[in-house]
Amino acid sequence: MGSRDAARGFHVSTAMQLDPASGVAGARRVTMNRILIADDNDANRELLEAYLVGVDCELETAVDGQDTLDKVASFKPDLVLLDVMMPKLSGFEVCKRLKDSPEFRRVMVLMVTALNELGDHERAVAAGTDDFLSKPVNKIELLKRVEIMLKLKGTEDELERLRQYIQEMEEQRK
């Protein structure tokens, strides 16, 4: 569920909060989506930032693979726009580490790359990417994919909250 921002076409994440003690649905809260842009090229980072200006979200940037992992841990993004070819750790390795981590495996990863070979897409999928986008980036395509990925992340988060709530209720009945 969400409120539609007609000017941008994005849904703002909302979540129904359940009081575990009573099981009664509480007030909705609005959460700000967080997007991390990871690219070692200044011009590419700035372009992606410019494209995302109209999106209601918090933005952070990372300049290499290790910086990306550090920023994921501190910034806790919903979505990472991840360049494949970066120093220190490749985007493939960063993605694999995120998806192998119990704490960060639910972070959405959109690989943004100039690599267009079939093998590169296969490596991205094997690393666990949720989607990929080829450079040069088309603004409309980027915005639509970001919108869809943030909706999916919101839905997954809500399902996880409900799963935990059901588990708590079952444990209380024992």
Residue % of the chain over a pLDDT of 70: 82
Considering only residues 113 and 67, tell me which one the structure prediction assigns the higher pLDDT: 67
What is the pLDDT, as a whole number, of residue 38?
98
**How many domains, in total, are found in the chain?**
1
In a domain, 4, yes or no: no
Task: Read off the pLDDT of residues 122-157 as tens digits, 9 standing for 90 and up.
Answer: 899 999 999 999 889 999 999 999 999 999 999 999
C-alpha 174/C-alpha 170 separation (Å) is 7
Residue 145: inside a domain: yes
pLDDT tens digit sequence for 77-122: 999 999 999 999 999 999 999 999 999 999 999 999 887 767 888 8
Q: Is residue 17 one of the residues assigned to a domain?
A: no
- Structural tokens at position 73: 């841990």
26 domain residue, yes or no? no
**The pLDDT of residue 68 is above 60:** yes
What does the mean pLDDT of the chain come to?
84
Query: What is the model's pLDDT at position 98?
Result: 98
The pLDDT of residue 20 is 43
Q: Domain with 115 in it: what CATH number?
A: 3.40.50.2300
Domain membership of residue 3 (yes or no) is no
* Structural domain for 38, as ranges: 33-160
CA dist list (Å): 112 to 16, 24, 66, 109, 173: 33, 42, 17, 9, 47
